[in-house]
């Protein structure tokens, strides 16, 4: 029987990322006239983040495009499956967390307040919430209860650079931030 009665410390986000085998990427350079994140008081707002990996989009096109229909020939509009888009939402979320880390420090995040996910959707595709779960599930894995958040999952006709997903995150920062 252990005599240590000290409470168990919850891992901080950087430790949780390491446990999950995740390294935050380098903050992606903006593709237009904006900054990756802005802090106002104890809140950080990220710009919409695309799922760049080493400066490249791993996929482009609409989510849920039927293969080779007259409305969307496969050659003109590559299909991105909902499953692949879920993974892309995770990647975009890591990019958002990298922007927050660069500005305020990942371990200074007190809670995730809101996530907005945009999904470039084929007509008739209604699975946006499942795609944006890629972001929500990842934030829950990293932050636990502090990762639960308000959310919007929005289907759109097109996103910058043909990206299938774009993620914005609003986070509350501890007062002792960088």
Tens of pLDDT, residue by residue over 96-125, are 999 999 999 999 999 999 999 999 999 999
Tens of pLDDT, residue by residue over 7-23, are 566 789 999 999 999 99
β-strand pairing of 79-80 with 62-63: parallel
Task: Please tell me the distance from the alpha carbon of residue 96 to that of residue 170, in angstroms, as a whole number.
Answer: 9
Please state the pTM of the whole predicted model. Answer: 0.89
Task: Please tell me the distance from the alpha carbon of residue 22 to that of residue 13, in angstroms, as a whole number.
Answer: 11
What residue ranges define each of the domains in the chain, with the CATH number in brackets? 13-173 (3.30.1330.40)
DSSP 3-state assignment of 115? strand
């Amino acid at each position: 029987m252990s005599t240590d009665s000290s409470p168990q410390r919850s891992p901080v986000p950087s430790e949780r990322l390491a446990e999950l085998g995740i390294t935050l990427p380098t903050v992606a350079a903006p593709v237009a006239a904006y900054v990756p994140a802005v802090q106002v008081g104890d809140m950080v707002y990220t710009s919409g983040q695309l799922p760049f990996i080493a400066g490249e989009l791993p996929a482009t096109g609409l989510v849920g495009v039927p293969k080779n229909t007259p409305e969307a020939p496969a050659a003109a509009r590559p299909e991105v499956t909902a499953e692949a888009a879920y993974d892309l939402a995770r990647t975009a979320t890591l990019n958002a967390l990298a922007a927050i880390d660069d500005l305020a420090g990942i371990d200074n995040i007190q809670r995730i307040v809101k996530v907005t996910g945009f999904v470039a959707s084929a007509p008739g595709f209604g699975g946006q919430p499942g795609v944006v779960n890629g972001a929500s599930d990842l934030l829950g894995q990293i932050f636990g209860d502090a990762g639960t958040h308000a959310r919007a999952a929005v289907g759109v006709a097109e996103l910058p650079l043909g990206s299938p997903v774009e993620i914005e995150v609003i986070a509350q920062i501890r007062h002792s931030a960088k």
